[in-house]
Homo-oligomer: A and B are copies of this chain.
Amino acid sequence: MAGSTFGNIFKITTWGESHGKGIGVVVDGCPAGLSINEEMIQAYLNRRKPGQTKYATPRKENDTVSILSGVFEGKTTGTPISLVVMNETQRSFDYSEIATYYRPGHADYTFDSKYGFRDYRGGGRSSGRETIGRVAGGAIAALILKELGIEVFAYTKSIGEVTIDYSQCKKENMQLSPLYMPDLNASAKAEDLLMAAMQEHDSVGGVIECIVSNVPAGIGDPVFEKLDANLAKAIMSIGAVKGFEIGDGFRCATKKGSQNNDPFHIENGNIMKLSNHAGGILGGISDGSEIVLRAAIKATPSIMRTQQTINKYEENIDVSIKGRHDPVIVPRAVVVVEAMTAITVLDMMLSNMTSKLSGIKEFYKKTK
């Protein structure tokens, strides 16, 4: 498998390395007739841009997106949409040292094992910049979901030990937090924690939660293409993610059936559940409740602290990784989680349109 394509009907194919000429994505299978322009996509990309706060690398990258195809007179045409962000500034950093050893926690060794060598400049294809294509493609998916009345919303649930309870937060506060953490007290504590880590030349991990509202019941397939299985793949495919949960996730393991089952209830003709331990998915198919998922993000592996590793001469050495690195990956990954979730949910909604013969007959009757 080539590995750079995600999705079955709404499909993104990403390309580009950290220090190549550019980074991009081809979005194929986008339905015709969506109003779209570069500003709409740029708004998503800006959320992952570095240099926004002191907790992100101060590198200046404009990351300006261009639409090269698939849009005519302001609307998608149904043909592939090519989106490109050119790498404007020639990076001056000298990578010759990094080229000689394997950074712990990075993909240097595994790339060399797989391909025989690697593009070592800034991590090459395994750089965080690879997510630009995901976010640009995810922006389009999110815009389509919005047309269907569906919202995808992610936020920083925890940084290190600082965790928040979203049910006690105002969603709007997220924009006020440099860490995208909607509980501003907790956000301030997390900032302190980050400052301390930076002083120790160290880095911190955390958790992102994503909530999808208004997905109709019936989306997802029963066996291998379960909605949660596809969400798991989507989220685990983001670099630095080490765990995935749907609904109560690992907390289910210590709960009884009577505690974990969500009772169905009907009120004023609306079917609902009295709780949502399941996170909106039963048997791999959406149940009409909010879909709730979480991703565990490891601490940034590039740290200035001295670490042991080996070099290409197969010697054990000590290294201290220089350069401008985020002390935490979580805040910039929030929009990436949103993007991958949007693509997955949209793709399965499109796939779901052929589940009933009656729906197909209705569709083609209307077409004529």
Q: Which of A168-222 contact B (CB under 8 A)?
A: 197, 200, 202-207, 216-222
Instruction: Let me know if B296 and A249 touch, CB within 8 A.
Output: yes
Cβ-based interface call for A290 (8 A)? no
CB distance from A5 to the nearest CB of B (A): 7
CB distance from A95 to the nearest CB of B (A): 11
Instruction: Let me know if A28 and B16 touch, CB within 8 A.
Output: no
Q: Which residues of B lie under 8 Å from residue A33 when comparing CB positions?
A: 115-117, 356-358
Q: Which of A98-123 contact B (CB under 8 A)?
A: 102, 104-107, 109-111, 113-119
Instruction: Let me know if A69 and B16 touch, CB within 8 A.
Output: yes
With A81-B15, A113-B218: A207-B250 Cβ-Cβ less than 8 Å: yes
Closest CB pairs A-B (n = 10): A107-B283, A3-B221, A2-B29, A2-B28, A3-B225, A113-B218, A110-B285, A203-B257, A233-B233, A243-B249
Q: A117's contact among B23, B77, B314, by CB below 8 Å, is which?
A: B77
With A110-B285, A285-B113: A299-B257 Cβ-Cβ less than 8 Å: yes
Q: Which of A324-368 contact B (CB under 8 A)?
A: 348-364, 366-368
CB distance from A347 to the nearest CB of B (A): 8
Give A217 to B127 CA distance when docked, in angstroms. 20
Q: How many residues of chain A are within 8 Å of chain B by beta carbon?
A: 171
With A1-B225, A4-B26, A23-B69 given, can you name 16 additional A-B contacts, CB distance below 8 Å? A32-B355, A72-B117, A79-B119, A105-B278, A110-B281, A113-B288, A126-B222, A160-B254, A207-B250, A216-B364, A228-B242, A253-B298, A257-B298, A258-B307, A269-B314, A353-B360
Instruction: Let me know if A310 and B264 touch, CB within 8 A.
Output: yes
Give A243 to B116 CA distance when docked, in angstroms. 34
Cβ-based interface call for A261 (8 A)? yes
With A160-B254, A264-B309, A287-B109: A5-B224 Cβ-Cβ less than 8 Å: yes
CB distance from A88 to the nearest CB of B (A): 13
Q: Which residues of B lie under 8 Å from residue A300 when comparing CB positions?
A: 257
Cβ-based interface call for A274 (8 A)? yes
**How many protomers of this protein does the assembly include?**
4
Give A246 to B244 CA distance when docked, in angstroms. 9
Q: A308's contact among B203, B228, B265, by CB below 8 Å, is which?
A: B265
Instruction: Let me know if B77 and A119 touch, CB within 8 A.
Output: yes
Q: A115's contact among B32, B265, B364, by CB below 8 Å, is which?
A: B32
Instruction: Let me know if B203 and A256 touch, CB within 8 A.
Output: yes
Instruction: Let me know if A109 and B264 touch, CB within 8 A.
Output: yes
Cβ-based interface call for A54 (8 A)? no
CB distance from A116 to the nearest CB of B (A): 5
CB distance from A28 to the nearest CB of B (A): 3
Q: A307's contact among B29, B160, B261, by CB below 8 Å, is which?
A: B261
Q: Which residues of B lie under 8 Å from residue A265 when comparing CB positions?
A: 308-310, 316
CB distance from A271 to the nearest CB of B (A): 6
Instruction: Let me know if A354 and B355 touch, CB within 8 A.
Output: no
Give A257 to B200 CA distance when docked, in angstroms. 11
CB distance from A61 to the nearest CB of B (A): 17
With A4-B28, A114-B352: A222-B107 Cβ-Cβ less than 8 Å: yes
Give A160 to B254 CA distance when docked, in angstroms. 4
Instruction: Let me know if B248 and A13 touch, CB within 8 A.
Output: no
